[in-house]
Chain A
Amino acid sequence: MSSWAIIQQSLPLFQKGFFITLKLATLGILGAIVVGIICSLIQYFHLPLLNPLVTIYTEIARNTPLLIQLFFLYYAFPQLGLRLTASQCGVVGLIFLGGSYMAAGFTGGFDGISPSQLEAGQAIGLSRWQLAHYVVLPQGLALSVPALAANIIFLIKETSIFTVIAIPELTNTALDLIGMYYHTNEYLLVLVVAYALILIPLSIILTYLERRVRYGAFGN
């Protein structure tokens, strides 16, 4: 059988894996962005009680491998009475890890806002939450777009670890096929192309977004 035929035969399976990767990554990233924004605002405004909790969470999430986090969710949580499907574990794991990275990225953006902007907002009588709404969030999010872009791409690549809890995403599909048919080169080629199909257009879109936001917010 020619390499081309091998590849063609595998495509339906890879197609399935492609969409699973895309779906889980999208859910995980959206969740991570929400968690990240909430955590970074808590840290920015030093909210009592919540602030130390956020610190503990981000330290744990950032300093343990996703692999171990997934093992916990998949193998340890059921013993505590919380049973999630493999896909749910994947998404929750990605949100847990990604939320901490997103929080760090947004915090960097918020810290980049000039203090005098905040004073200008205070001087017209904005309350703390109005300041967050009208000054900190729009400017801070614009400043954190480069970090956001890097995190999105990082998290999409992290989905390959879902293999260890048997989610049939792209990497798992490739490893399964290699294990069954030993056409290592062909399947790895398809795998690389599939990731590139997601990541390269995304990179281009994110770079464009970075430029637009920078121009929109700061005019250069």
Chain B
Amino acid sequence: MSTPLLHVSHLEKYYQKAHILHDVNFELNTGEVLTLLGPSGSGKSTLLRCLNGLEAYQQGAITFDGQAVTQKPKQWQQLRQQIGMVFQSYDLFPNRNVLENILLGPLKVQKRPRAAVLPEIQQLLKKVGMADYADAYPRQLSGGQKQRIAIVRALALKPKLMLFDEVTASLDPEMVRDVLNIIRQLAASHAMTMLVVTHEMDFAKQISDQVLFLADGQILEQTPGTQFFEQPQTERAQNFLASMDF
């Protein structure tokens, strides 16, 4: 068996005395999609943020692509070029246009030549249906358009792993569909390895190779594919699924 792209073992996270994550263990193979589900406050987003250094963890170990994570700022800076993240609030830089937002990473962080990067970016923009918006400023875009650009901005670094943190939570229903389709496409045609926090259950059901159900910072269920949706084992998970619209 090949080694997993991401290996998390015995992860513990505290905010002062509050115990946020308890003994989190999982693996993610290249090309797989893992979905994190659970009620709000269960630690899903915190777990995701621990995986690219936006939150520190106090115990446990993460191995990414064969490299032990040391939590040193310099190493995170390196790893973040291989671990893309997209946020609920899009957070495009308002003072830079679409192209400048996207180019910042490849040109300034990775120091790649503009001529090499530009065709890739145009290709990506085309794929998300935003080819005509390279010169637009974020204020001129709708929420769904901003989120599509944010996805391209993360993909521009050619990451090996993508983290999606409730990326459709602040979008209108019709825009949700557009953004989810892009993520589906990324999984299907690019075999992108992804960790997804979402409240879109249909989407989660379609896309997941693996589901982690978290409650109170603990993994209560860890199942392959759709099994979680069909046969939730714990009462917490059954209640959670019952409360969700499909």
The B-contacting residues of A in range 167-216, CB under 8 angstroms, are 216
CB nearest neighbor in A for B86:
A123
Residues on the A chain within 8 Å of B78, using CB: 125
Chain B, Cβ-Cβ closest to A218: B94
CB-CB nearest in chain A for B109: A125
Known pairs A219-B137, A219-B139; A126 contacts B91 (CB<8 A): no
List A contacts of B110 (CB < 8 A): 125
B52 in contact with A219 (CB, 8 Å): no
**A126 in contact with B109 given A120-B91, A218-B139 (CB within 8 Å):** yes
Closest A residue to B105 by beta carbon equals A124
For the complex, give the distance between the alpha carbons of A187 and B87 in Å.
63
Partner of A124, one of B76, B140, B154: B154
A156 at interface, CB cutoff 8 A: no
Q: Does B89 contact A (CB under 8 A)?
A: yes
Interface centre among B53, B76, B109, B157 (most CB of A within 10 A): B109
- Residue A53 is within 8 A (CB to CB) of chain B in the complex: no
Distance of A45 from chain B, by nearest CB (Å): 12
Partner of A123, one of B85, B137, B139: B85
B-binding segment of A16-24, A100-108, A127-135: A127-135
B54 touches A123 (CB 8 A): yes
A116 interface contact, C-beta 8 A: yes
CB distance B93 to A134 under 8 Å?
Answer: yes
Query: Would A122 and B109 be within 8 Å (CB), given that A116-B91, A117-B93 are in contact?
Result: no
Contacts of B73 in A (CB 8 A): 128
Residue from the list A117, A134, A218 in contact with B91, Cβ < 8 A: A117
Q: Tell me the B142-165 residues at the A interface (CB within 8 Å).
A: 150, 153-154, 157
Residues of B within 8 A of A142 (CB): 95
Q: Judging by beta carbons under 8 Å apart, are A124 and B109 in contact?
A: yes
Residue of B nearest to A127 (CB): B77
Cβ-based interface call for A138 (8 A) = yes
A219 touches B138 (CB 8 A): yes
Check B80 for interface membership: any CB of A closer than 8 A: yes
